[in-house]
Amino acid sequence: MENAKITIRDLNLYFGKQHILKNINVEIPENKITVIMGPSGCGKTTLMKSMNRLTDLNPDAKLSGSILIDGKDILHSGDDITKIRKMMGLLAQRPYPLPMNIYNNIAYGLRISGRKKKQFLNKRIEHYLRQVNLWDEVKDRLREPAGALSIGQQQRLCLARGLAVDPEIILADEPTSALDPISSQTIEEKFLELKNNYTIVLVTHILRQAKRIADHVVFMYLGEVIEQGTAQEIFENPQQEKTKSYLKGIFY
Amino acid sequence: MALYGKKYFLETRVKIRRIQMSRFLRDKLHGTWMVVTLIVVVAMPFILLIGLFLKSKMLLDDHSIFHLLFSKEWKPLSGEFGFYPFIISSVWVTAVALLISAPICLLTSIHLTQYAKKWVLKVMHPVIDILAGIPSVIFGVWGILVIVPGISDYIGPFFGKAVSGYSILAGAIVLSIMIIPFILNILIEIFKTIPVELSEASLSLGASKWQTIKFVILKKALPGIVSAFGLGMSRAFGETIAVLMVVGNVTKIPTGIFQPGYPLPALIANNYGEMLSIPLYDSALMLAALILFVVVLIFNFASRLLIVRYERHN
Amino acid sequence: MGNLKKIEEGFFRVLMFCSTVLIALTLFLIIFSILYKGLPAISWEMVSQVPKGGFYFGKEGGILNAIIGSLYLSFGSTLLAALFGVPLALFMNVHLIRHKKIVNAIRYLLDLLWGVPSIVYGAFGFAIMVYFGIRASLLAGIITVTLFIIPIMVRGIDEVLKSVPRGLLEASLSLGSTRSEVSYRVFFKQTMPGIITAVLLSFGRAIGDAASILFTAGYTDYIPTSLNQPTATLPLSIFFQLSSPIPEVQQRAYASAVVLVFIILVISILSRVLTRKYQKNQINF
């Protein structure tokens, strides 16, 4: 594939003795929405978390193989891991606002990288809050604790927070599973807009969601990649038996 | 039924009814005893409070509570009971002990929950539990063997002071080691319950592990940390024997940590023998116990309220 | 700029490591110094004889009075506390299971009681003794220590009982058991190792505490033969004899310290072994 933003080759992940990811070979295209899907427990979240090396947080984790982002192997380069992680924004299953007010939540990532000027921060924060359609709702209560927002608002806040550090890739782990249908729709629409400027990797177990927004699909089962291709290829003409069964809804 | 006959049938019916009755009787007895235990235990703190108050009433009738708390004169033979030197000593010892133990507990708990490998935590658990189980007297013995000479031979001269070693500092050092396992266990619990996703969110914004700890984890855990220290303080305030053995027991307002002190619990412990021979002395010591009780209760109450609010927030 | 942050992180990491090591080292230092002073004092005579010639002045004899006295006192108070504590904990978790607010209030009260210093119990016990004209004795000591360890024991057992899944309670009740049958025949058995651990730990607190028995248990050279006699105890044996100018008396204090530390270590190891056995056999619902 040309324009592969992320290329994963022969990736194996062990948690202690358990072989969680088996010989993963995946290519994630640039500026498209790639959905990783499969039944629960198949390793899709782990695969996504290995892309920004959050798996390092688990002391028993052992990774081998290579993960190339823009051609550079993040598993073996000597680069500061924080720089690598900043390239990728993370949206989790449930919103996890930082224990600060709304303003500081978004300013956090900016301050960490050394941008502290008030004017600059103010402009950026307004820009990103507008981007997730939150500005009008919170512009008068920027100094209130982020925990006071509704769950749908919190998730949008977390999205804005992640965008504020100018990532190139967005990793989303079932981002709408805790949300009501209207907030879910908002997030999905946002992703469709954002894909023009960002590479989006989305993990979901909601087949309909995948069908709605995916450009590219990776299907996993029990730690292996069974099939991957464009959304059209996978949904209309799946090659593997397991993919066919999953799409028919035979196993979750 | 034909095999067994009517007589057997009737006898079994009676037997079963008797067993049923005895089961219910037993249930009633157990239930009643359980309610008794509940009443006794719930009444305990109130009985303690009332008992101590009644016993100190004689002293309170003659002197105002403010005079007793703030007067510096302690001359029981002349009827002067000023608790101020003892309260100040207690405050000093507790404060210094907290000053020593708080950073150690924080640093260790962060290390164990965020940085150290799993086996380190496994080894430290029994260490902490054993430390927590060591009786007060043993700490006192150790204090006399190691800490007191340590202060008189090394730490004191280092600051240019010639001291005996029996001092507020000795009491504070011994006390700090006694409350460390207590505070440490609470802090480890608190850090363990912070969801890992919060750290993940911070890290994926480009923060380093240390920045995540400084700006996110510590902030999230702050109410819990404060209440852990509050509970530690109340434990330190009431500790008697170990402190008694190394603190000097001189009735004087201490002017520095190398001076001897005389905390409130030590006052009670040292003088119970003379209690009955000097008029109002027993009342005074009971009042000291009451003050101790109330202070500890307030600290505990406030700290636990914080924890409850903190858990509800999560 | 990045370098400054790295130095800061490195600095704190070293500090954290040192702090952890410091705690472990301190424990070893404490045990070492006790053993250093006390092991030479341990001999068969020491643990099998009572002090001859008076505990404060006598140069002969040993600490049997304190060992036996402590064992009597701690067993007595632990048993008495269990008599109140076990039913109360079961009551809270079985009978009162529907009244969550009441149970939480009781737990809160117990936590408050748990923090009360033992000297307060000692002073209170003394006041009661004076009021009723009871002398310092084994009985007075047992009662005071019982009051002191009841919150500790109830809390410990409560923690274990809390973890029993509700389904077990419902299943037992639907089989027609009375509530106390569920308590004693089901919950008690299910959590037995945990309960024993809690009782063991309470025993450890009882045997080591000095402040509660300072006024109430008295002190003597002899082994008590009735509840009304005063008794020697290991903590007080240390406390009273440590500052004696006579070296043989001091030796008795150190020997008592070693015996006490030994008992505490045994209790620690036993409770860990029991907890591990318990967790192995526990079905994770």
Whether the predicted pLDDT of A252 surpasses 70: no
List Cα–Cα distances, C51 to C48, C65, C208, C260, in angstroms: 10, 8, 21, 18
Other C-beta atoms lying within 10 Å of the C-beta of residue A17: 6
The pLDDT-based confidence of B142 (bands split at 50, 70, 90) is: very high
Q: Do B215 and A158 touch (CB under 8 A)?
A: no
Phi and psi at A66, nearest 5°, equal: -140, 145
The pLDDT-based confidence of C1 (bands split at 50, 70, 90) is: low
Q: Where are the alpha helices (DSSP H) in chain C?
A: 2-38, 44-48, 64-90, 100-114, 118-132, 138-162, 166-174, 179-181, 188-190, 192-208, 234-241, 247-281
CATH 1.10.3720.10 fits B69-313, yes or no: yes
Whether the predicted pLDDT of C55 surpasses 70: no
Query: Which two structure tokens, joined as six digits, stand for A169?
Result: 């890739």
Phi/psi-derived region of residue A249, left when phi > 0, alpha when psi is between -120 and 50, beta in every other case: left
> Given a contact as 3+ CB pairs under 8 Å, which chains touch A?
B
Give the span between the Cα atoms of A180 and A151, in whole angstroms. 9
Find the residue in C nearest to B22 (Cα). Answer: C178
pLDDT digits (tens, 9 = 90+) for A133-167: 889 989 889 888 888 899 889 999 999 999 998 89
Q: What is the rounded average pLDDT of the residues B68-97?
A: 86
DSSP A221-234: ETTEEEEEEEHHHH
End-to-end, the C-alpha distance of chain C in Å comes to 52
Query: Which two structure tokens, joined as six digits, stand for C252?
Result: 């008795």
Q: Which of B221-235, C122-136, C171-185 has the lowest mean pLDDT?
A: C171-185
Q: Where are the alpha helices (DSSP H) in chain B?
A: 5-62, 65-70, 84-110, 118-133, 136-142, 148-150, 156-158, 168-192, 196-204, 209-212, 218-238, 241-246, 264-271, 281-313
The pLDDT-based confidence of B126 (bands split at 50, 70, 90) is: very high
Interface test with C, best of B108, B110, B118, B233 (most C CBs within 10 A): B108
3-state secondary structure of B38: helix
The pLDDT-based confidence of A250 (bands split at 50, 70, 90) is: low
Side chain identity at C77, as an amino acid letter? S
pLDDT digits (tens, 9 = 90+) for C247-281: 888 888 999 999 999 999 999 999 888 888 777 66
pLDDT score recorded for residue C282: 59
Give the span between the Cα atoms of C268 and C266, in whole angstroms. 5
pLDDT score recorded for residue B309: 81
Q: Considering CB atoms only, which of C5, C27, C117 is closest to B238?
A: C117
Find the residue in A nearest to B211 (Cα). Answer: A112
List Cα–Cα distances, C135 to B69, C55, C119, C216, C228, in angstroms: 32, 20, 18, 8, 7
* Domain coordinates in residue numbering, chain B: 5-59, 69-313
Q: Where are the beta strands (DSSP E) in A16-152?
A: 18-29, 33-37, 61-69, 72-73, 88-91
Q: Which of A205-209, B70-74, B170-174, B216-220 has the lowest mean pLDDT?
A: B70-74
Taking the CA of residue A217 and the nearest CA in chain B, the distance in Å comes to 24
Other C-beta atoms lying within 10 Å of the C-beta of residue A62: 12
List Cα–Cα distances, B154 to B97, B145, B257, C29, C37, in angstroms: 19, 14, 15, 18, 21
Chain A residues inside the 8 Å CB shell of B205 = 85-86, 89, 108-109, 112, 161-162, 165
Closest CA to B143 of B118, B181, B173: B173
Residue linked to tokens 């056999």: C281
Whether the predicted pLDDT of B4 surpasses 70: no
CA angle B56, B294, B51 (to 5 degrees): 40
pLDDT score recorded for residue C97: 80
Give the number of residues written for chain A: 252
pLDDT score recorded for residue C67: 92
Question: Is B192 touching C (CB cutoff 8 A)?
Answer: no
CB–CB of A217/A235 below 8 Å? yes
Interface test with B, best of C20, C25, C35, C118 (most B CBs within 10 A): C20
Residue linked to tokens 């954002």: A194
Question: Is B5 touching A (CB cutoff 8 A)?
Answer: no
Q: Which of A39-43, A64-68, C64-68 has the lowest mean pLDDT?
A: A39-43
Chain C residues inside the 8 Å CB shell of B38 = 88, 91, 106
Q: Do C272 and B126 touch (CB under 8 A)?
A: yes
Residue linked to tokens 């039924």: B1
CA angle B275, B279, B284 (to 5 degrees): 60
Please enumerate, as own/partner, the contacts of C30-33 that have beta carbons within 8 Å and a separation of 24 or more.
C30/B134, C30/B138, C30/B139, C30/B142, C30/B177, C31/C261, C33/B142, C33/B145, C33/B146
Collect all residues with Cβ–Cβ distance below 8 Å to B95 and sequence separation of at least 6: none
Closest CA to B83 of B276, B277, B273, B268: B268
Q: Considering CB atoms only, which of C12, C20, C127 is closest to B124?
A: C20
CATH of domain C44-281: 1.10.3720.10
pLDDT digits (tens, 9 = 90+) for A86-115: 888 899 988 999 998 999 999 998 998 888
The pLDDT-based confidence of A55 (bands split at 50, 70, 90) is: confident
* Domain coordinates in residue numbering, chain A: 97-166
Residue linked to tokens 């701690």: C74
Residue linked to tokens 């030197």: B85
CB–CB of C153/C202 below 8 Å? yes
Element (DSSP H or E) covering residue A244 = helix A241-248
Chain B residues inside the 8 Å CB shell of A83 = 206
Question: Is C30 touching B (CB cutoff 8 A)?
Answer: yes
How many CA atoms lie within 13 Å of A59's alpha carbon, on the beta-carbon side?
Answer: 10
pLDDT digits (tens, 9 = 90+) for A186-221: 889 989 999 889 999 999 988 888 889 999 999 999
Q: What is the rounded average pLDDT of the residues C57-84?
A: 89
Residue C75: burial class (beta carbons within 10 Å; 0-12, 13-18, 19+): middle
Residue linked to tokens 């009633």: B28
Find the residue in B nearest to C28 (Cα). Answer: B127
Side chain identity at A25, as an amino acid letter? N
Per the DSSP assignment, residues forming a β-bridge with A229 are A217
